[in-house]
Amino acid sequence: MHLTVELTYAAETTAVAAALSDPEFLRWRSQDRGAAAATVVDLSGSHHAGFTLSLRRTVPTDVIPSQLRHVVGDQLEIRQAEAWEAPVDGRYVGTVVVEITGAPVRLTGTLLLAPTEDGGTRHVVEGEVHASVPLFAAAVEEAAASAVRRALEAEAQAARDWLARG
């Protein structure tokens, strides 16, 4: 299943990239701010030269159809790895892998941070969600895509709040 999530920020692209690669921001956003609590497993590099990060978060399974919850339990552990290249012409590109442990689900895709005409930033996550569950793959993929979308939107709001702090 294809997934595209487009997020926007009222901040310059460099500021958004700096926040996404800032260990203080990553710790701050992992606190209860509407985003799923996340643990930073690894962070290296900088927004100037490119960076990688690995996160682990736990989310409730309320987005999964009830008939499938018995397969994964009450919570899902999501592991996310991002690799961002150094900026070229004000744009950042990268790759992302998201795995849901306890469920054979994986998202692989691309990342983009690009300036908008109004001086803000467009953040695009695009990829393929694949579930290897016989008979239920489509339902699991749809539920996983919904969970990933909600997590990304909550994290984007946390980033907006962080950036607004100045």
Dump pLDDT digits (tens) for 73-119.
667 777 889 999 999 999 999 999 988 777 778 999 999 999 999 99
The DSSP result for the chain, as a single string, is -EEEEEEEESS-HHHHHHHHT-HHHHHHHHSSSSSPPEEEEEEEEETTTEEEEEEEEEEESTTS-GGGHHHH-SEEEEEEEEEEEPPBTTBEEEEEEEEEETTTEEEEEEEEEEE-TTS-EEEEEEEEEEE--TTTHHHHHHHHHHHHHHHHHHHHHHHHHHHHT-
Percent of the chain with pLDDT strictly greater than 90: 48
φ, ψ of residue 8 in degrees (nearest 5): -130, 150
pLDDT of the residue at 141: 82
Average pLDDT, the chain: 85
CATH of the domain at 33: 3.30.530.20
Is the per-residue pLDDT at 16 higher than 70? yes
Q: Who has greater pLDDT, 143 or 91?
A: 91
Average pLDDT over residues 63-80: 68
Q: Who has greater pLDDT, 92 or 37?
A: 92
pLDDT of the residue at 37: 59
Structure tokens at 46: 């900088």
pLDDT of the residue at 23: 87
Of the pLDDT bands very low, low, confident and very high (cuts 50, 70, 90), residue 43 is very high
Parent domain of 9? 2-164
pTM for this model (two decimals):
0.83
Q: How far apart are the C-alpha atoms of 69 and 75, rounded to whole Å?
A: 9
Of the pLDDT bands very low, low, confident and very high (cuts 50, 70, 90), residue 39 is confident
Q: How many domains does the chain have?
A: 1
pLDDT of the residue at 41: 74
